A = this chain, B = another copy of it.
Amino acid sequence: MTLFIEYLNAIVPLSDEAKNAIYPCLKKQHYKKNETIVRELASSQYLHFVEKGLIRAFYLKEEKEITDWFGLEKSIVGPIVRNFPIKKTIHRLETIEDTTLISISFNNLEKLYFQYHELERLGRIIAIQSMLLLQQKIDSIQFYSAKERYIDFITSYPTIIQRAPLGMIASYLGMNQVTLSRVRKMNV
C-alpha cells in the first residue's frame, strides 16, 4: 500500500492528512500469470496500480489480440478518471506475470479529489504525464520505420522484451509479428 502512496508522493509531495485519507481506500490483490484482471475495462469501477509484476491491456481486432498498453511495476492503469472510455472497443486487462495490484474505487477517488485540492492537482499532473507518454508513442509510430520503433522500444522498456511474448510487443508497436522477427534479426 505504502509503495503506491510513496509513488504518488514522489510526483507531488502530499500532506500527511491527504496520505492518511488515501490509505484506507486501498485494496491489495494478487494475481497469477495469464489471469484476467478486468474483463471490460470501460465499465471497471477501479483504478489499479501495479506494485509488482507485469500486465497488459488489449482488445480484439479481426480475431487478433492487439496489445496497446503494458503495465510495468509502478504504473497506473489507464487514466485517473471515472469511466474513461479509452476506446469504444472492449479492452481486457490481463497479467503477463504473477502480479500484485493496489486498487482504489473511482468512487473513493472522486471523493478524495473533492476533499483534497492537492490530490486533484496530483490527478492533473498524472494526466499530463500520461499525455506525454501518449505523445511519445504517436511520435514513434507516425514517422519511424519498424526497425526504428523496435529500437526505441527496447531502449525505453528494456525489461519488457524479456518478459512478454513477441506477439504482444509486435501488436503494441503496430507491426506484424513476422516483421518484428525480421527486424530483430537485422542485427540492431
Contact = CB atoms under 8 A, between A and B. Distances in A.
Interface of A: 61, 66, 68, 79-81, 84-87, 113, 117, 120-121, 123-125, 127-128, 130-132, 134-139, 141-143, 174
Q: Which of A84, A124, A130, A136 lies at the interface centre, i.e. has the most chain B CB atoms within 10 A of its CB?
A: A124
Contacts of A136: 87
A121 B130 contact: no
24 contacts: A61-B143, A66-B143, A68-B138, A79-B128, A80-B124, A81-B128, A84-B128, A84-B132, A85-B132, A87-B135, A87-B136, A87-B139, A113-B124, A117-B120, A120-B124, A121-B124, A124-B124, A127-B131, A130-B131, A131-B134, A134-B135, A134-B138, A138-B138, A143-B174
Contacts of A120: 117, 120-121, 124
B141 A142 contact: yes
A87 B142 CA distance: 14
Copies of this chain, whole number: 2
Contacts of A81: 124-125, 128
A117 to B, nearest CB: 4
Nearest to A142: B174
A147 to B, nearest CB: 16
Contacts of A68: 138, 142
A17 to B, nearest CB: 15
A150 to B, nearest CB: 15
Given A113-B124, A124-B127, 14 more contacts: A61-B143, A66-B143, A68-B142, A79-B128, A80-B128, A86-B132, A87-B135, A87-B136, A113-B121, A117-B117, A120-B124, A131-B134, A138-B138, A141-B142
A144 to B, nearest CB: 10
A136 B87 CA distance: 8
Given A81-B128, A124-B120, A127-B124, A86 B135 contact: yes
